[in-house]
Amino acid sequence: MLLKTYSLAPALVWHHIGNTARQAIFIILLSMALGIAVNLIRPDSIPFVETWSMADKLAAEGGDTLAITLEDATALFADNAAIFLDARSQAEYDRGHIQDAVNLPWHEVDNYFETVIMTLNPEAMYITYCDGEACLLSHDLAMLLKDLGFTRVKVLVNGWTLWKEHDLPVTTPSS
């Protein structure tokens, strides 16, 4: 008897898999319907499809764009006309950064208020950067500085990667 029951095991497994798949598909379809329906009726809905690029985002906030091109940034760098602010963590900064850049980690910005931010001249030109197309640290830092009354702040999107790719001057532990 027992043997007969266990010979049913494969059928039971298939039955369970079929059940699982049906229920899972139903749950997924229901959540798709709910997600889309709620977004259609809620007042603060978001577009279903949106272009996600950092340049657009920087341009959207305030008329003129916060972003600065690599050419402009390198020109300012060559003339020593801008101070570069590295918004990444200290550990990342220590592993390598744009030459003469000042470290101002966004996640610990409170700790750097007196030692760094208070020493900066609000009239000077600043370029914030971090790493990666989508990195928001430099953007958030730039917005904070603007709120604090700094007038000339720009963001070099994907700064660290771009800078390295173009073999521009960096400071690394070995150099």
Partner 1 sequence: MPQKKLSYDTTLTLGYHFTRLVMTCVFLYASIDKIIHPDLFAQAVYNYQVLPGYLVNLTALILPWLELLLGTCLLFNRWMAGASALAAMLMALFVGMITFNLARGLDISCGCFSAAPDEGPITALTLARDVLFLIFSLTLAMLVYVRKTRNVMEILEENRGG
Give the binding site for partner 1 (CB under 8 A).
1-2, 4-5, 8-9, 12-13, 16, 19-28, 30-32, 34-36, 38-39, 44-53, 88-89, 92, 107, 130-137, 140
Looking at residue 45, what DSSP letter applies? -
**Least distance from partner 1 to the Cβ atom of residue 2, Å:** 7
> Which of 65, 44, 39, 42 lies closest to 54, judged by CA?
65
Looking at residue 126, what DSSP letter applies? E
**Least distance from partner 1 to the Cβ atom of residue 62, Å:** 18
Closer CB to partner 1, 73 or 135, in the complex = 135
Closer CB to partner 1, 72 or 92, in the complex = 92
Distances (CA, A) of 144 to 127, 130, 139, 150: 13, 15, 9, 9
Q: Is the distance from CB of 128 to CB of 153 less than 8 angstroms?
A: yes
**Least distance from partner 1 to the Cβ atom of residue 38, Å:** 7
Exposed/middle/buried for 130, CB within 10 Å: 0-12, 13-18, 19+?
buried
Closer CB to partner 1, 47 or 149, in the complex = 47
**Least distance from partner 1 to the Cβ atom of residue 170, Å:** 17
